[in-house]
Chains A and B, each alone.
Chain A
Amino acid sequence: MTHERREPDDAAHPVDAVLVRLAPLLVLAAVAALVALRASDLGPLLEVARLSRAELASDEDLFRSEPILGPESPILARLRSDHPPGTPVSLPLRGASVTRGQRFWIALLPEYPVASDAELVICALPCAEPGLELVERGSEFALMRRRAGGSGAARE
Chain B
Amino acid sequence: MTGALPLIAWLALGAPTAFAFWRFRRRDLAVAVVPVAGWLAIALPPIAAPFSGAPLSSWISQSALASLGLGLASAALLGRRGTAAPPEAPAGSPWPMALSLAVLAAVAAGLVVVGEILAEGWPGYGWDGVAIWLVRARVLAESDALPTALFSEPLLREGHWDYPLALPALMAWYARVGGLGVQQMGIPLVHLAGLMPVATAAGLQRSLGWPLAAAAGLSPLAVPELLEYHLRAYADPSMVLVATGAVAWTALGTLRWERGPLLLAGLAWALVVSVKNEGALWLCAAAVGSVLLSSYRVLPPSERLAGLARLLVPGFLAFGLWRITCRKLAVEGTLIGGLHWDQAGERAPTLAAALVTHVFTAFGAPLMLACVAVLAWRLRGSFANRLLDGLVLLCIPIVFVAGLFAIYLGTPHDLAWHLATSLHRTVYGVLPAVFVMTLFAGSLGRGPR
Residue ranges of A at the interface with B (Cβ–Cβ < 8 Å): 1-8, 10, 24-25, 27-28, 30-32, 34-35, 38-39, 41-42, 45-46, 48-53, 55-56, 58-59, 62, 65, 67-68, 90-93, 98-99, 102-103, 105-106, 109-111, 113-116
State which of B1-9, B146-154, B277-285, B337-345 sits at the interface with chain A. B146-154
Closest to B116 in A: A49
Question: Is there contact, CB below 8 Å, between A28 and B227?
Answer: no
Residues A110 and B211 in contact in the complex (CB < 8 Å), given A25-B96, A53-B121: no
Scoring B residues 100 to 121 as 1 if CB is less than 8 Å from chain A, else 0, what string do you get?
Answer: 1001000100100010011011
Question: Is there contact, CB below 8 Å, between A2 and B444?
Answer: yes
Q: B346 on the interface (CB 8 Å rule)?
A: no
Question: Is there contact, CB below 8 Å, between B92 and A8?
Answer: yes
* In-complex Cβ contact of A111 among B107, B142, B231, B449 (8 A): B142
Question: Is there contact, CB below 8 Å, between A25 and B211?
Answer: yes
Residues from chain A with Cβ under 8 Å of B131 in the complex? 102-103, 105-106
Pairs across A and B, CB under 8 Å, 27 listed? A1-B389, A5-B86, A6-B444, A7-B90, A28-B100, A28-B212, A35-B218, A38-B222, A38-B228, A41-B224, A42-B228, A49-B124, A53-B120, A56-B183, A62-B183, A65-B122, A67-B130, A91-B155, A93-B155, A102-B131, A102-B159, A106-B130, A113-B150, A114-B150, A116-B153, A116-B154, A116-B155
Question: Is there contact, CB below 8 Å, between A59 and B150?
Answer: no
Question: Is there contact, CB below 8 Å, between B228 and A49?
Answer: no
Q: B263 on the interface (CB 8 Å rule)?
A: no
Residue with the highest number of chain B CB atoms closer than 10 Å, among A5, A6, A51, A106? A106
Question: Is there contact, CB below 8 Å, between A38 and B117?
Answer: no
Interface of B is mostly: helix
How distant is A60 from chain B, measured CB to nearest CB, in Å?
9
Residues from chain B with Cβ under 8 Å of A24 in the complex? 96, 208-209, 211-212, 215
Residues from chain A with Cβ under 8 Å of B142 in the complex? 110-111
Bound complex: CA A55 to CA B439 (Å): 48
Bound complex: CA A66 to CA B212 (Å): 45
Bound complex: CA A46 to CA B149 (Å): 38
Q: Across the A-B interface, give the 7 residue pairs with the lowest CB-CB distance, nearest first.
A: A49-B121, A34-B222, A24-B211, A52-B121, A4-B445, A52-B122, A3-B255
Bound complex: CA A53 to CA B256 (Å): 52
Bound complex: CA A110 to CA B155 (Å): 14
Bound complex: CA A7 to CA B212 (Å): 13
Residues from chain A with Cβ under 8 Å of B90 in the complex? 7
Residue with the highest number of chain A CB atoms closer than 10 Å, among B99, B135, B231, B379? B135
Residue with the highest number of chain A CB atoms closer than 10 Å, among B99, B124, B232, B447? B124
How distant is A100 from chain B, measured CB to nearest CB, in Å?
11
Residues A115 and B149 in contact in the complex (CB < 8 Å), given A5-B207, A28-B100, A46-B118: yes
Question: Is there contact, CB below 8 Å, between A32 and B114?
Answer: no
Residues from chain B with Cβ under 8 Å of A50 in the complex? 117, 121
Question: Is there contact, CB below 8 Å, between A49 and B445?
Answer: no
Kindly state the interface size class of chain B when it binds its partner. 35 or more
Question: Is there contact, CB below 8 Å, between A38 and B227?
Answer: yes
Q: B156 on the interface (CB 8 Å rule)?
A: yes
Residues A3 and B444 in contact in the complex (CB < 8 Å), given A42-B231, A109-B150: yes
Scoring B residues 233 to 266 as 1 if CB is less than 8 Å from chain A, else 0, what string do you get?
Answer: 0000000000000000000000110000000000
Question: Is there contact, CB below 8 Å, between A56 and B122?
Answer: yes
Question: Is there contact, CB below 8 Å, between B114 and A46?
Answer: yes
Q: B430 on the interface (CB 8 Å rule)?
A: no
How distant is B227 from chain A, measured CB to nearest CB, in Å?
5
Residues from chain A with Cβ under 8 Å of B155 in the complex? 90-93, 114-116
Residues from chain B with Cβ under 8 Å of A7 in the complex? 89-90
Residues A110 and B138 in contact in the complex (CB < 8 Å), given A41-B228, A46-B118: yes
B residues 419-449 touching A (CB-CB < 8 Å): 439-440, 442-447, 449
Residues A51 and B130 in contact in the complex (CB < 8 Å), given A39-B110, A41-B228: no
Residues from chain A with Cβ under 8 Å of B123 in the complex? 49
B residues 212-228 touching A (CB-CB < 8 Å): 212, 214-215, 218-219, 221-228
How distant is B180 from chain A, measured CB to nearest CB, in Å?
10
Residues from chain A with Cβ under 8 Å of B156 in the complex? 105, 114
How distant is B135 from chain A, measured CB to nearest CB, in Å?
5
* In-complex Cβ contact of B118 among A45, A93, A110 (8 A): A45
Residues A35 and B153 in contact in the complex (CB < 8 Å), given A3-B255, A42-B231, A45-B124: no
Bound complex: CA A48 to CA B124 (Å): 8
Residues from chain B with Cβ under 8 Å of A59 in the complex? 181-183
B residues 78-105 touching A (CB-CB < 8 Å): 86, 89-90, 92, 96, 99-100, 103
Bound complex: CA A58 to CA B184 (Å): 10
Residues A31 and B215 in contact in the complex (CB < 8 Å), given A6-B445, A65-B122: yes
Residues from chain A with Cβ under 8 Å of B147 in the complex? 110, 113
Question: Is there contact, CB below 8 Å, between A49 and B209?
Answer: no
Residues from chain B with Cβ under 8 Å of A27 in the complex? 211-212, 215, 439
